A and B are shown apart, each in its own frame.
Chain A
């Protein structure tokens, strides 16, 4: 079945082949009907797609990859997690491994193929799946973007993570998604964290070299009262991958969420880390780092919706660009009329290393409530000649000085990541980019020279 030509029969067959319960089959078909009369995003009309030309960057004329390929996932971050970690590996259209250490299983922690979990936790999944995308969930509604609708209708593989109330999972749960087959991959991840539970999830994305594929991914997460969730999403794709990702979390009373997106791979990566703060006192810290090089296009759209009062959010994304790469930051913060006592801040900083790279930033605030504190900012700049001089004047060679400055730029974000292994992994990914970069082509901003000297 081609992603651009989904059919009712095709989707029904997909559901039947997987032996899915009828509610899920019905839901897929309803989602399909909903997407039918909608076109793919049009960058001239759709404000969320304005900066990224959908028709040039995303190819939807691809067959769905619905089965496994026998390939195995390479080592990576998830592989490096501790032995007591629960892990799940998806390769192409199938879950090839799902391991939950006994100690966690006994506490009711589930990390499973969604298809299997339908038998063991069917009721729970029926309550949650699609609530934040297809269904009219209170406050935030359905997602009108067809790229989300097709995942609702035809997701090809899924994972279910459940942490029961009051269970604290000490070691990160690893989910590794590896793509080896060309075509359209529609993975679905459902995350259900009970009240006062605590968990860290590391979601790693890799592909085999040369695999030309579209990955249209949806992660839906429910974070209940007082829970703590750390979510890292690492995009280490090879160069040919087009990746659309919605990571939508619903965050309840006093829950504490922080997310970090580390993006260095992929031809086009469009990330939507979204949070709905639906309970008073909820807080979210969406972080992102990215390093784009020749040919890459990263579109980052963190979205925070303050529905409940006294919640807080603090968005920080930083990226470096070189070659002819592009980044788009379109941050959104929505504050509902009843969200009194909201505190929000939203920032994006880009470092343009070489001529030809471009970063667009538009932080949006949509505020319907007077009694809040809100800030936002964006800055795009080059390496500061004065910083460079200071380091060089201590004997540090230019290339080493540039490296230190670039890492320093990212450190503001990296030092906030409190997920074991992720700070190092992010640093390593960025390091690899910096090592490969042609530092002799780096452009330095000397506008600051005069001001600073006579400070």
Chain B
């Protein structure tokens, strides 16, 4: 049994059926890239894994290391090691970034890390990801640029040390240097204890983070899969072939 098992998953949002029978296996230590045209349902799958309240699981199962996630609250999933770097990170007005991170780290570790130790770790990770110290004074994502938001998602992952990381278009909106920094950040997290699902439109990030498999979503289903070469093929030719065969 794979660590992450998605079986015949159906998801609706606002009464519309978006995912129509998705099957996917991902083991820790592996990286899967998920591609597919706009609106095909990639983010919906990501949100369904994280437990977003707007998405109803109407059929099928999501199982993580033997635990059925379907009915679990988002915070329970996170404490089981699930992390979603969102395509559109949410601005939470007034909530201090430092407080937020510390509360999250304490919750996920189920113990209160002493403030000094936490701040040391936080500063170190920020330095690695090129996030300026001044951000400590800011509110969660409030007024962050697109790229800053993406960096901050990875900073959170670095602190929370998930075992399943879903990265939803973390590469979009990043300049070339930032992409490299962020990819390196992800690679530092990688290892036998992390399973990674990278959602992307571009092969650029896949040059830094080598996927073991590439899957293609189309109209709410996974319709093609292959090795890293599939990503190059899609980038060169687009989705016409997939559309035609669907």
Interface residues of A (CB under 8 A from B): 385-387, 389-398, 400-401, 404-405, 407-412, 446, 449-450, 452-453, 455
Q: Report the contact-size class of chain B (Cβ under 8 Å from the partner).
A: 35 or more
Determine if A404 and B99 form an interchain contact, defined as CB atoms under 8 angstroms apart.
yes
The interface bits of chain B over 31-65 (1 if a CB of A lies within 8 angstroms of the residue's CB, else 0) are 00000000000010001001111100000000000
Residue among B47, B79, B92 facing the most chain A CB atoms (10 A cut-off): B92
Can you list 11 residue pairs at the A/B interface with Cβ under 8 Å? A391-B95, A392-B73, A393-B51, A394-B78, A394-B107, A396-B100, A396-B107, A397-B107, A407-B95, A411-B95, A453-B43
* Chain B residues, Cβ within 8 Å of A398: 73, 75
A446 to B54, CA, bound (A): 8
Given contacts A408-B93, A450-B14, contact A396 B75 (CB under 8 A): yes
* Chain B residues, Cβ within 8 Å of A455: 88
- Chain A residue nearest to B88 (CB atoms) is A455
Determine if A394 and B108 form an interchain contact, defined as CB atoms under 8 angstroms apart.
yes
* Chain A residues, Cβ within 8 Å of B96: 408, 411
* Chain B 66-100 interface residues, beta-carbon cutoff 8 Å to A: 73-75, 77-79, 83-84, 86, 88-90, 92-96, 99-100
* Chain A residues, Cβ within 8 Å of B92: 387, 390-391, 404-405, 408
Residue among A395, A404, A407, A411 facing the most chain B CB atoms (10 A cut-off): A395
A386 to B78, CA, bound (A): 16
* Chain B residues, Cβ within 8 Å of A396: 75, 78, 100, 103-104, 107
Chain B binding site: helix, strand, loop or mixed by DSSP? mixed
- Tell me the number of A-to-B contacts counted with CB atoms below 8 Å: 106
Interface residues of B (CB under 8 A from A): 13-14, 43, 47, 50-54, 73-75, 77-79, 83-84, 86, 88-90, 92-96, 99-100, 103-104, 107-108, 139-140, 156, 160
Nearest Cβ on chain A to B134's Cβ, whole angstroms: 15
A394 to B84, CA, bound (A): 8
Q: Which of A392, A394, A409, A446 contacts B94 (CB under 8 A)?
A: A409
Q: Which 5 A-B pairs have the closest CB atoms?
A: A408-B94, A395-B78, A408-B95, A411-B94, A394-B104
A401 to B160, CA, bound (A): 16
* Chain B residues, Cβ within 8 Å of A409: 93-94
A359 to B51, CA, bound (A): 32
Determine if B78 and A453 form an interchain contact, defined as CB atoms under 8 angstroms apart.
no
* Chain B residues, Cβ within 8 Å of A446: 53-54
Nearest Cβ on chain A to B89's Cβ, whole angstroms: 7
Determine if A389 and B74 form an interchain contact, defined as CB atoms under 8 angstroms apart.
yes
- Chain A residue nearest to B14 (CB atoms) is A450
Nearest Cβ on chain B to A350's Cβ, whole angstroms: 14
- Chain B residue nearest to A400 (CB atoms) is B103
A385 to B53, CA, bound (A): 8
A397 to B76, CA, bound (A): 8
Q: Which of B13, B139, B156 contacts A411 (CB under 8 A)?
A: B139
* Chain A residues, Cβ within 8 Å of B78: 392-396
A28 to B50, CA, bound (A): 69
Nearest Cβ on chain B to A404's Cβ, whole angstroms: 5
Determine if A386 and B90 form an interchain contact, defined as CB atoms under 8 angstroms apart.
yes
A401 to B95, CA, bound (A): 10
A411 to B74, CA, bound (A): 26
Determine if A392 and B75 form an interchain contact, defined as CB atoms under 8 angstroms apart.
yes
Given contacts A394-B104, A395-B104, A396-B103, contact A412 B54 (CB under 8 A): no
